[in-house]
Structure 1
């Protein structure tokens, strides 16, 4: 059947989508204005001016219309912002901040500062910010139940043989039977427009060679249009940029911004220096014990993979016999490993053997918190780590750490199975994506809880 002469695909989404959208906007507007009104009334009551001073009512009467106009202008009620609770909250708070700023500016220009109820406005604003954030979050989170259904329609168009994206769709259409983007026919474009009428988004699953044709066909459809690209799951782009007039895909962010790097490095140097001074008696005691227990050097050094996939030499207290040491790290340490000395068993079970890495931190090879560095020959289920998961190299975008998110989650010890590595890798990538100095502090505090761990051997 020719795409130009085929029948229209059956439309299965509810005809009440437009009424649901009206309910959504009116409901959100009611929540917004209600939160602001209640906040001002509560603040006036707390200040004891609810009935004997009308200045706060005048302020409220000015804030409400300015707020409504601002929300309409900053797309607070747009579908893209009402599908995400956090984006919805951000838009609402932005609108209120602009509204109250405009009212204060008007009061200043009219020289009404003598009668301006500063404390009432400040208290009201604090209440309004809290109530707006909570009200918008809960409304968007429970929107289908509150308005009687999902007002957003998502259409999937797919070519035969193409993988279908996961997720819920209002309508799924086999495009081959009705539309051919390579066939520039007004009838076909009209049928496409009618099929997408009332939808909020359309997602196309097609072969790579057909993507340009579909993009051209949908650019004039007046609907948010997207093309499914499963290879992005591997590429994992972070955004879109451009070099000159040519668009590029951002696949890595690079280092932290200068201020964040300064904060993290300062934190590392201060903490490592204090720890070295405080723990010096333990250092001396462990050094003597290692030397007396078995012949060989006090420290053990091993090549590890560090930031930017550059290799460095990691320091530890020696815990194994010199003649049985594994410099490449191909053999994972087992619970009753015959290579471990008597002192080595103790310092490994208490993680004391890791203390010399404070020197690596001061040198700049490591950080206090970050993905743990691995030896070159480390294996999981007899496979090198990077053979188990190609994302392994992504974890080296930051300095390796003495401790990390994987460690406080209990992912340590021998990697006997591939999932032993994947669990650690997932935690490391999560750490890189959501870094903050506060999270570093939290990880350090939680590390004390897992210093004595069943997998520490």
Structure 2
């Protein structure tokens, strides 16, 4: 990383990290308060209806209901920043969460034929008793946040790119001109700078002239942040909603592709599957290491900077398959079938895709996912053009973490990109994956990957 990126990371991310830690702490406090109140109100129900605080029925109801309540609350926005700071938003989300949780629990009891152990009266009484204290805690908490000067826990960044002047309390402000941000013909380095600048930022507002709006929109989408441009109206940007502040109106043109619960599910899948895979594959890793050493005595691993999530560079890890003196750090020349740079062992590793397995370490480290758009080298070309010169939507594929495998790969789009169509086939598959992610899709792609590890275009 060059000095520009390093300086931005050091100056900007501590504030965002502090904001994120504070939000997580407040959410945890609310979750613990909710669990405590649910158990307390159901214990009171037990005393009122059964004459005992430690009633098995009401305790079981409290346990089952609290588990559903917390999970549904995460998805409904009950613990979002807006719900923590706005009274009526909090009460509305609370009512929605409680109703859905109660209905799901009732349905589960019905379908599992557990009705004989279920007291409808005590459960209904518990539902009535639990809502008022939960609502009261949220109202008091929101008012405390506002009175203590923490009414907005979002990390907000305003980028001034020559548009109308705007100001927002608590927001950070930078000048695109002073940061030397030029979007007329952005390359990987420029987008790496922007990615470092936007990292860990919840909301990005760009104020720019009309002719720059269409330049900023795809960059913000590709960065995977909640991005907005200040405007009086531009339908061609694909606006998701209008945000109205006291001093200005902005159009939201991008949104992170995954919600916080979705990111948590995807990350949990990565950690569990990658961890198990590393343990099971450790004997194979040892065999490959010995083979590489016996072949030419060189280093086992090869690292190369690739473009990852938010268009930020990261070092990808692979088993070394090329001769030391002919390693291509920029990926300018794609490997071919009769590539004399590849070692004897390397040819076998590439043919079987075993050379990619060390990327499990990237997955555990968080720079990659098991499934996602494959990360490309910065010097990769299709025909006579660099990848990003073929289609401006190329950068949108980086809204998610890159993957060890992806939708494009299981469809057979791999190997050398000899013509522009080879890149476009991969790009459209990647954008389809970003738009339609779900856990089942990841599992399907992982299963299908087993059948394409040995492929006619793997060389």
Between structure 1 and structure 2, the one with the greater Rg is 1
Name the structure where helix makes up a greater proportion of residues.
Answer: 2
Q: TM-score of the superposition, structure 2-length normalised?
A: 0.48
